[in-house]
Amino acid sequence: MKYKKILLAVELDSKADAFIIAKAKELMVNHQASLILLNVVEHLSNYGAAYGVSAGIDIEEILINEARVAIRKLGEQLGIPAERQLIKVGPTTQIIIDEAKNQGVDLVVIGSHGRHGVGLLLGSTANGVLHGAYCDVLAVRLKDK
């Protein structure tokens, strides 16, 4: 099978992402595919709502701005145009599944820490994407620090 569009879900942590970026780049070159970068920022605004604290909104905005800067740098390194550098806010697993469908990708590349739940094999996000995506999913085992 030849992949045409690959979605790479990144944490934007250079150490955690290095191996999956290399794997996605290899697939992109070997399949002559286009690569879409995606980072998801989880909603934080609801965490303090029960206590009347709105600090989550400020933190969320900071995280989004930092993600924009980091994904822009990564996009430049990989030669990925700005329109294929996505920052989304919401539940990580669902956003990855939805964006894979919206972008019409053939393959999702995601890292797996393998530390929780079904976690001897996959992390919860990787497991959710694997079982929820309509396309192929490559869960790349990340090395623990």
The dihedral formed by the CA atoms of 56, 67, 125 and 92, expressed in degrees to the nearest 10: 60
Angle between the 55-78 and 14-31 helix axes, to the nearest 10 degrees?
40
User: At residue 57, does pLDDT exceed 80?
Assistant: no
| Confidence (pLDDT) at 142 | 75
Q: What is the pLDDT of residues 60-99, one digit of tens each?
A: 888 999 999 999 999 999 999 999 999 999 999 999 999 9
Is the domain covering 5-141 a CATH 3.40.50.620 domain? Answer: yes
The pLDDT confidence band at residue 141, using thresholds 50, 70 and 90, is confident
| Confidence (pLDDT) at 6 | 98
Total-model pTM: 0.85
User: At residue 130, does pLDDT exceed 80?
Assistant: yes
What is the rounded end-to-end Cα distance, in angstroms, of the chain? 34
- Listed by start position, the domains of the chain span 5-141
77 token code pair = 């390194």
